[in-house]
Amino acid sequence: MAIVFGSLFTIDYHGPVEETSFAAPVQETSAFGVPGVTVLAGARTTRNVSTEVWIYGGYATEAALLAAIESVNVKTNRETTLTIDSQSYGRSLFVGLVPRQQRSRFYSRQFASWIYIGEARFVQLQP
């Protein structure tokens, strides 16, 4: 299960993809002494897309893990097509990685590695 952000990066994700509804601006106007209200409804605009990500495997030092995180975060505010498994989100903006837990050292019989558990956040700019 992978997040592919154009040709900029590919990372693993764990957990469900969370999508908000597309925002649709609404403006209500009324005038003093005039009954009723005028409503202007705009077209759908943006929506937030996020999911939990894990960056792990082969990071023997915390510095190596931080470098891997930074290599993703330097793509903040870039726009391209976002694909999560087979679902595609056109014109998406990468907002960044947000940690959900402190960086920790992960141990198993096969390897010991630093692990990052966070959230990847995107904004889809048009439906």
DSSP one-letter string for 37-101: -EEEE-----EEEEEEEEE-SS--SHHHHHHHHHHHHTTTT-EEEEEETTEEEEEEEEEEEEESS
pLDDT at site 1: 79
How many domains are contained in the chain?
A: 1
Residue with tokens 């960056």: 55
pTM: 0.80
pLDDT at site 104: 60
User: β-strand 18-19 against 47-55: which pairing, if any?
Assistant: antiparallel
Provide the mean pLDDT of the chain.
87
pLDDT at site 126: 83
- For 23, the domain range is 2-124
Model confidence over 45-67: pLDDT tens digits? 899 999 999 888 778 888 888 89
Whether residue 92 contacts residue 80, with contact meaning beta carbons closer than 8 Å, is answered with yes
Q: What is the CATH number of the domain that holds 31?
A: 2.40.30
